[in-house]
Amino acid sequence: MYPSDLKYDKEHEWVRVDGDIAVIGITHFAQDQLGEVVYVDLPSEGDSVVAGETFGEIESVKSVSELYSPVNGEIVKVNDALGDAPETVNEDPYGEGWMIEVKLADAAELDAMLSAEEYEAFVTEEA
Amino acid sequence: MTDRLARTPLHEEHLALGARMVPFAGFEMPVHYAGIVEEHKAVRSSAGVFDVSHMAQFRVFGFGAFDFLQGVLTNDLRKISELGAAQYTLMCDEDGGIIDDLIVYHTGDLEYLIIANAANREVDLDWLRSRCPAGTTIVDGVECEHRPDAGLVELADESDRTALIALQGPAALEVLGELTGPGWEPPARFHIAEALVDTVPALIARTGYTGEDGVEILCHAQTASRIWRALLSFAEVTPCGLGARDTLRLEMGYHLYGNDMDRGVDPVSAGLGWVVGKDKGPFVGSEAIARIRESGPSRRLVGLRVDEGVPRPGYPVLHEGEEVGKVASGTFSPTLGVGIATAYLPVELAGEGTGVVVAMRRREVPATVEKPPFVKSTSLS
């Protein structure tokens, strides 16, 4: 449920890093807590994201949650397919359900994020 | 009211089905099992079963029952003089403020059953007691015999020993028919009748809160699990939580007490003038409601369809940059795939097609005033 090649934060986002590019989405735990996702409000390409600040919003029938960026950088790609198929976030949170791709300002800041093991321990405690 | 949450007689059933439980009106209730959207669609296309045992049940009986209720409720009780008939009605204060919305069933000679909102149980009982004619006996939560000689009116709170299970959807009556056996005919819409459901005695009301055909099954708390399991043994039936109940009712524009109305709102502004009897004689709130009718309300509850995102209760509604109201009820409509809401707006903005803006957390989204029901075609229409 928590792939070991990803990094995690306590706001339930995951990051997949390839060079200086980071793909960001929400975790299995987050999508399960939300229930069926019906709307995802994402920023635009070229926008900046700041670590610890919100970059968008995700809505299920029963609740709305902020999306927090775990990293600093510039958005190079947005998953526009979620506009027509927001339920993809539930069905494939680590694959087709990704949200934004960010060109990292400083790849070293990822070191502070949680490993899959650490994140799993964190959500077990929270649940 | 900081006591631990109450549980319905079906609590263990919900846990066994893996329900997500949430606090609601003092009860621990299932908000969903598989998921709100999935459950919602099951009710629109086949059938869903809901535990609504948290709702309050009062029984009013005796020689004075008719006069008492006719004087304290807004709708005209003469419309349900036929045994088994039911009506939606309101209980208002002297200013026309809505205390609760109720369904009243004419269950027997000199006898009425009232189903009320769980959160209003004590308020309703206090109000009814304070309006009861002299000689009233209040019997709380215990078995009681029909004893009209004991007083003009008896008022029994049967909530704790009663379970209420809603079976709703186009397949609901077919499923019920399998359990009641041949020879039993379901009551007409807005009527109630006795039946044996899987051999268990119950009252079957042809009412609901989803916009689909179906029934609400009233039974003794101890027999609820048996009926619940019998219903779920049919492949057509999906267990549904309060989440789907809310999306289903809002698609139909049905009011929810606490969101769409409260003590600060009168029936005319709430769009419920149709449940206020016009020539029934005086009742609590009748003068105030007549005055509001004559002068016209300043605000009205309207439906809103938003262009994107999900409107939530409390979001401001804007017109030409000014706040003109707040979202009362709001959700995502699984049937339509858009956000829908209700809001009290000034009457000059209440016309169908009027454009307003809903201020969501991160952005302002255009919305259009629409006359509910948002979903026009169901197994009832």
* Dihedral sign of CA atoms B27, B28, B31, B33 in order: negative
Query: Looking at the domain assignment, is residue B220 inside a domain?
Result: yes
Query: Looking at the domain assignment, is residue B358 inside a domain?
Result: yes
Q: Which residues pair with A41 in a beta bridge?
A: A57
| DSSP code of residue A108 | G
Task: Give the structural domain span for B178.
Answer: 11-47+161-251
Residues of chain B with Cβ-Cβ distance to A36 below 8 Å are 35-38
Percent of the residues in chain B that have a pLDDT greater than 90, as a whole number? 87
pLDDT digits (tens, 9 = 90+) for B249-272: 999 999 999 999 999 999 999 999
Find the residue in A nearest to B33 (Cα): A35
CATH of the domain at A33: 2.40.50.100
Q: Which residues pair with B366 in a beta bridge?
A: B357
Query: Looking at the domain assignment, is residue B236 inside a domain?
Result: yes
Q: Are residues B33 and B165 in the same domain?
A: yes
Query: Looking at the domain assignment, is residue A12 inside a domain?
Result: yes
pLDDT digits (tens, 9 = 90+) for B169-199: 999 999 999 999 788 999 999 999 999 999 9
- Tally of structural domains, chain B: 2
- Verify whether the Cβ–Cβ distance A57 to B361 is below 8 Å: yes
Find the residue in B nearest to A40 (Cα): B309
Domain termination site, one of B251, B282, B314: B251
Round to whole Å and give the CA distance between B381 and B371. 16
Q: Judge whether residue B224 has pLDDT over 60.
A: yes
Pull the structure tokens for residue A109.
Answer: 């800041």
- Looking at residue B103, its amino acid is I
Choose among A36, A57, A59: nearest Cβ to B36.
Answer: A36
Query: Looking at the domain assignment, is residue A121 inside a domain?
Result: no
Round to whole Å and give the CA distance between A95 and A28. 11
Domain termination site, one of B183, B218, B251: B251
A1 touches chain B (CB under 8 A): no
Residues of chain A with Cβ-Cβ distance to B247 below 8 Å are 61
Q: Are residues B165 and B243 in the same domain?
A: yes
Query: Looking at the domain assignment, is residue A96 inside a domain?
Result: yes
Query: Looking at the domain assignment, is residue B69 inside a domain?
Result: no
Q: Which residues pair with B162 in a beta bridge?
A: B220
Choose among B32, B37, B309: nearest Cβ to A39.
Answer: B309
- Tally of structural domains, chain A: 1
Q: Judge whether residue B148 has pLDDT over 90.
A: no
Query: Looking at the domain assignment, is residue B140 inside a domain?
Result: no
Find the residue in A nearest to B309 (Cα): A39
- Verify whether the Cβ–Cβ distance A39 to B37 is below 8 Å: no
Query: CB under 8 Å to B299, separation ≥6 — which residues?
Result: B269, B325, B344, B345, B346, B347, B350
Under a CB-based contact definition with an 8 Å cutoff, are residues B297 and A28 in contact?
Answer: no
pLDDT digits (tens, 9 = 90+) for A64-104: 999 999 999 999 999 999 999 999 999 999 999 999 999 99
Note the ipTM here: 0.85
B4 touches chain A (CB under 8 A): no
Confidence band, pLDDT 50/70/90 cuts, at residue B151: low
pLDDT digits (tens, 9 = 90+) for B354-373: 999 999 988 899 999 999 99
Q: Are residues B326 and B193 in the same domain?
A: no
Q: What is the mean pLDDT of chain B?
A: 94
- Verify whether the Cβ–Cβ distance A61 to B312 is below 8 Å: no
Rounded to an integer, the average pLDDT of B2-10 is 86
Query: Looking at the domain assignment, is residue A125 inside a domain?
Result: no
Task: Give the structural domain span for A99.
Answer: 7-107
- Verify whether the Cβ–Cβ distance B332 to A38 is below 8 Å: yes
Residue B185 to residues A70, B79, B206, Cα–Cα distance (Å): 62, 23, 11
Round to whole Å and give the CA distance between B122 and B13. 27
Query: Looking at the domain assignment, is residue A123 inside a domain?
Result: no
A38 touches chain B (CB under 8 A): yes
pLDDT digits (tens, 9 = 90+) for B82-131: 999 999 999 999 999 999 999 999 999 899 999 999 999 999 999 998 88
**How many cross-chain Cβ pairs, A to B, lie less than 8 Å apart?**
40
B332 touches chain A (CB under 8 A): yes
Burial B192-220 (b: 16+ CB within 10 A, else e): bbebebbebebbbbbbbbbbbbbbbbbbe
Preferred mutation among B33, B37, B247, B336 to probe A, highest tally of A CBs within 10 A: B37
Q: Which of residues 285-304 of B touch A (CB under 8 A)?
A: none
Residue A67 to residues A2, A18, A82, A90, B108, Cα–Cα distance (Å): 18, 21, 14, 15, 57
Residues of chain B with Cβ-Cβ distance to A57 below 8 Å are 361-362
Q: Are residues B212 and B347 in the same domain?
A: no
Query: Looking at the domain assignment, is residue B75 inside a domain?
Result: no
Q: Are residues B165 and B309 in the same domain?
A: no
| DSSP code of residue B261 | B
Q: Are residues B165 and B242 in the same domain?
A: yes
Query: Looking at the domain assignment, is residue B203 inside a domain?
Result: yes
Query: Looking at the domain assignment, is residue B187 inside a domain?
Result: yes
Under a CB-based contact definition with an 8 Å cutoff, are residues B44 and B212 in contact?
Answer: yes
